[in-house]
């Protein structure tokens, strides 16, 4: 859905629902500020240069990617998802002893915090952003967790080369997955593992050519990775 049409429709809905000033400011945030870093409508050209220069992940399919409760919570208290930055090569710097690379924290700007009301409204806006056919509904068949699934992730399919499944690890080039079960819809996880280039032809995550059985196991495992409740 086009951003202008989406915001207009939700603004009318917000008025009817009594969102008031909070809802309007969240819509303004999406249309005026979020677009400075995120693509909230599908770019006309998904080029390598665009991918290299983008400042933050694409959100034009956010409604097929995120779980809404997580989104509402995260927008109020953002935490680092990509410890190595959106483009790892731009955030990494050589260590003083030239043996261990480190992450330049100045290249990892903090995400703004929203009020509870604005976070809820922004989440409504983002959850309406979808692309037909990008994430097939029902692709994940609720594969139960198994020791084989954990082994596929940690040893056999190379996932830990770019992703962390436990909090406290060193920053990696891909997003952390130890909160993926809270954050991501299983059908999105299945679709992305199956064919990352369907989302962007130039994205660096490889298409591994896995069987659907392995994708089901990996999706089931990733869906169990959740933040510890305090």
Domains of the chain: which residue ranges? 3-78+113-127, 147-222
Q: Which CATH superfamily is domain 147-222 in?
A: Cytochrome c-like domain (1.10.760.10)
pLDDT in tens, 1-47: 454 555 554 444 444 434 444 445 556 766 677 888 899 889 888 88
Which residue from 171, 25, 27, 146 is spatially nearest to 88, judged by alpha carbons? 171
Distance (Å, whole) CA 85 – CA 172 = 9
CA 83, distance to chain mean position in Å, is: 13
Decide if pLDDT at 230 tops 70.
no
Show the tokens assigned to 172.
């990696």
118-144 pLDDT per residue, tens: 899 889 999 999 999 999 999 999 877
pLDDT for 48: 87
Q: What's the token pair of residue 13?
A: 């809905």
Residue 82: per-residue pLDDT? 85
CB distance 175 to 163 below 8 Å: yes
pLDDT averaged over every residue in the chain: 82
- How is the chain split among helix, strand and coil, in percent rounded to 5? 45, 5, 50
Q: What span, in angstroms and rounded, lies between the C-alpha atoms of 129 and 41?
A: 8
Task: State phi, psi for 184 to the nearest 5 degrees.
Answer: -110, 140
Contact indicator for 218, 156 with CB cutoff of 8 Å: no
pLDDT beyond 90 at 70 = yes
**Cα separation, 179 vs 202, whole angstroms:** 25
**Does residue 87 register a pLDDT over 80?**
no
Question: Of 63, 26, 20, 19, whose CA–CA distance to 41 is shortest?
Answer: 63
Helices 116-127, 68-76: crossing angle, 10 deg rounding: 140
Q: How far apart are CA 226 and CA 175, in angstroms?
A: 14
Assess contact for 95 and 104: CB atoms under 8 A.
no
Q: Which two tokens stand for residue 66?
A: 């995120």
Confidence label for 212 from pLDDT (cuts 50, 70 and 90): very high
């Amino acid at each position: 859905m086009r951003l202008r049409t989406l915001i207009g429709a939700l603004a009318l809905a917000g008025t009817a629902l009594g969102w008031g000033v909070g809802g309007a400011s969240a819509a303004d945030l999406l249309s005026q500020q979020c677009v400075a870093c995120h693509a909230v409508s599908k770019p006309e050209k998904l080029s390598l240069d665009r991918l290299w220069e983008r400042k933050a992940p694409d959100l034009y399919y956010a409604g097929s990617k995120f779980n809404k409760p997580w989104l509402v919570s995260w927008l109020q208290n953002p935490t680092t998802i990509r410890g190595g930055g959106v483009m790892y090569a731009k955030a990494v710097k050589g260590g003083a002893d030239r043996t261990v690379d480190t992450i330049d924290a100045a290249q990892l700007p903090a995400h703004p915090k929203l009020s509870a009301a604005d976070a809820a409204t922004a989440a409504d806006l983002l959850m309406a952003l979808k692309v037909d056919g990008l994430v097939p509904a029902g692709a994940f068949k609720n594969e139960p967790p198994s020791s084989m699934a954990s082994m596929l992730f940690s040893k056999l399919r190379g996932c830990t080369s770019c992703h962390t499944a436990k909090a406290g690890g060193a920053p990696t080039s891909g997003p952390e997955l130890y909160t993926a079960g809270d954050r991501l819809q299983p059908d999105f996880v299945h679709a992305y593992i199956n064919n990352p280039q369907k989302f962007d032809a130039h994205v660096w995550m490889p298409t591994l050519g896995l069987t659907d059985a392995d994708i089901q196991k990996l999706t089931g495992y990733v869906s169990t990775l959740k933040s510890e409740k305090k």
